[in-house]
Amino acid sequence: MAIANGYATLAEFKLYVPIDSTDTDDDKVIEDIIEAASRWVDSHCGGRTFYGRTETRYFDKPPGRELRFDDDLLSITTLTNGDGDTIADTEYNFLPRNKAPYYGLKLKQSSTYAWAFDSDGNDEAVISIEGSWGYASTRPDDINLYCLELSKAAYNRRSGQSAEGVATITGAGVVITPQGVPPWVMVGLQAYRKR
């Protein structure tokens, strides 16, 4: 199985834990854990993703000049208004203005464009944006580290070890499976949460 949009690779995990690169017994389990940890990061950060993807998204006609997105935007290929007109990048400013990812755009005061209904008078899903979506086109280094640490904690729980690699065993010899996310990972991810 290949890891889909994972924030770590199998090879990186084996170096991090460490596991001999020639030991392939747990490869499928590790790949599943890495993918699950990557999706947990997305969910914990409010649905934010740390990989770029090209897609077209649709938006309702807003009442003013500002259009808010439902996802982080890296760049626009084509912006099409409700009436089918293509709006050039000289007609709007991104929000925030100076740094991606963007959460919206605003038509310039000098622009002759206004957000339009479609030809049937509808205002729902009439504006389309084809572009590159996501927080970053490639995962940030610290997101890679958080994913590795989450994956390591999940992998270690299989043998009753805590996130720090310490096994908890009762006097009767029962292994207690620890729960939770390493606290420093939770702190680090706070900076990436959608506000």
Determine the 3-state secondary structure of 189 from DSSP.
helix
Q: Rounded distance, CA 122 to CA 172, Å?
A: 68
Whether the bond between 63 and the residue before it is cis, its omega within 30 degrees of 0, is: no
Whole-number pLDDT of residue 168: 55
pTM passes above 0.85: no
Distance CA 135, CA 143 (A): 11
User: Which run of H or E residues covers position 39?
Assistant: helix 27-44
Tokens of 165: 């690699």
Q: Are strands 66-80 and 102-107 parallel, antiparallel or unpaired?
A: antiparallel
The pLDDT value recorded for residue 146 is 97
How does pLDDT run across 105-153, given as a tens digit for each residue? 999 999 999 999 999 999 999 999 999 999 999 999 999 999 999 999 9
Neighbours of 123 (CB within 10 A): 15
Spatial distance between the Cα atoms of 4 and 8, rounded to a whole number of angstroms: 10
Q: Residue 169 above 80 pLDDT?
A: no
Q: Where are the chain's structural domains?
A: 10-47+139-190, 53-133
Q: Cα(28)–Cα(40) distance, rounded to whole angstroms?
A: 18
